[in-house]
A and B are shown apart, each in its own frame.
Chain A
Amino acid sequence: MRTFMRAVSIWGRRRLFQLRAVGTGEIVALAVVAVVLVVGPASVFAYGRWMDRHVAVVHARQWQYAPNVLHATAGVPLRIRLESDDVVHGFKVIGLDAQVTQLIPGKSMELTVTAPKPGTYLYMCTTYCGLKHAMMFGKLIVTAP
């Protein structure tokens, strides 16, 4: 036990000496780099997750929605954030009052959908976006509470 403690104290003193030799400037620089390399990206990632914590993100691209299946509970509002990845699309849930006429690439739009009754609702693109525009749709599956 005593040899172990001695080894630890020697290791500790050597590290302390090295740290002092390095100087406070280097420690500050290390802190800066730690922020840049670790804290920065981590907080960006965390912020992104926090912003989207109760949101279903739907990407619209030629010619599909991703994801093309959404799940919701009847009576509970579902927040959807729509993003277009290429050209101007539209979005409409058939049978519900949820619509974005012009989804412009680069501008995400958020809307809230509340389905009163369980069932399957279709959402589709409402702005002509190219050859397969008519085949661009997805399903919103609403289950009973």
Chain B
Amino acid sequence: MRGRRYLAMVAGGVILVAGLFAVRLGASPLPHPRTITLEASQWRYTPGIVTVNEGDPITLIIKASDVTHGFYLDGYNVTETVVPGQTITARFVATRSGRWMFRCAVTCGPFHPYMIGWLRVQPNVTLRLGLLALGAIGATALYAAWEEGSGR
């Protein structure tokens, strides 16, 4: 019994460490400048999901198609106001990885607080760490159940 538990701990530890190393897998070595056009309308952004790599310099071109909207990116210091007919350019470097919501910053109607888009900065370390922790906790729980079930 003790040998089995020892084995399980070693196996779990190896997987966990491997997982921690894999968390940053897929990180692009070179920053790749990107230009993304966003259309702001009541009450969404098109495209609603934007995916970039960590470290990429981003140029956002934002247009409002119906009324005055705004743009605010969680976690970054980007705030803009976009009037219909004007084109706003916002530049920043995607230094923080993860999934960030960008939202309208100028009241544009009743559903203004829900006017949200997603910026995914890969690799999504927060998600991967979260899933890794989830897997570790779940695996521990399953192992504990197995131990309990087979009668210590």
Q: A88 to B106, Cβ gap below 8 A?
A: yes
Please tell me which stretch of B9-17, B107-115, B129-137, B141-149 contacts chain A, meaning at least 4 of its Cβ atoms lie within 8 angstroms of it: B107-115
Q: Does B66 interact with chain A (Cβ within 8 Å)?
A: yes
Q: Which of A4-12, A28-36, A48-56, A99-107 interfaces with chain B?
A: A99-107
CA distance A105 to B85 in the complex (A): 20
- Give B15 Cβ to nearest chain A Cβ, in Å: 52
Q: Is the CB of B83 within 8 A of A128?
A: yes
Verify if B67 is at the interface (C-beta below 8 Å from A).
Answer: yes
B residues within 8 A CB of A105? 107-109
Q: Verify if A40 is at the interface (C-beta below 8 Å from B).
A: no
CB–CB B83/A127 < 8 A:
yes
Contacting residue for B110 out of A86, A127, A129, A130, CB 8 A: A86
The CA-CA distance from A102 to B107 in the complex, in Å, is 12
* A86, A106, A131 interface centre (most CB from chain B within 10 Å): A86
Within 8 A of A (CB), among B91-108: 106-108
- Taken together as a complex, chains A and B put the C-alpha atoms of A130 and B85 apart, in Å, by 11
Return chain A residues, CB-CB under 8 Å to B109: 86-87, 105
Interface string of B21-42 (1 = CB under 8 A from A): 0000000000000000000001
Against B, the Cβ 8 Å flags (1 = close, 0 = not) of A77-111 are 00000000011100000000000001011100000
Give Cα A128 to B68, complex, Å: 7
Interface residues on A, range: 10 to 19
Question: Are B108 and A87 in touch, CB under 8 angstroms?
Answer: yes
Please report the C-alpha to C-alpha distance between residue A104 and residue B69 in the assembled complex, in whole angstroms: 10
Q: For B108, list chain A residues within 8 Å (CB).
A: 87-88, 105
Task: Kindly state whether residue B84 has any CB partner on chain A within 8 Å.
Answer: yes
Known: A128-B83, A128-B85. A104 touches B106 (CB 8 A): yes
A12 to B133: give the CA distance in the assembly, Å. Answer: 75
Residues of B within 8 A of A104 (CB): 106-107
Q: How far is the CB of A88 from chain B (nearest CB, A)?
A: 4
- Taking Cβ atoms with an 8 Å cutoff, the residues of B that contact A are 42, 66-68, 83-85, 106-110
Chain A residues with CB under 8 Å of chain B are 86-88, 102, 104-106, 127-131
Cβ-closest 3 pairs across A and B: A88-B68, A87-B67, A105-B107
Given contacts A86-B110, A106-B107, A127-B83, 13 further A-B contacts (CB under 8 A): A87-B42, A87-B68, A87-B107, A87-B109, A88-B107, A88-B108, A102-B68, A104-B106, A128-B84, A128-B85, A130-B66, A130-B67, A131-B66
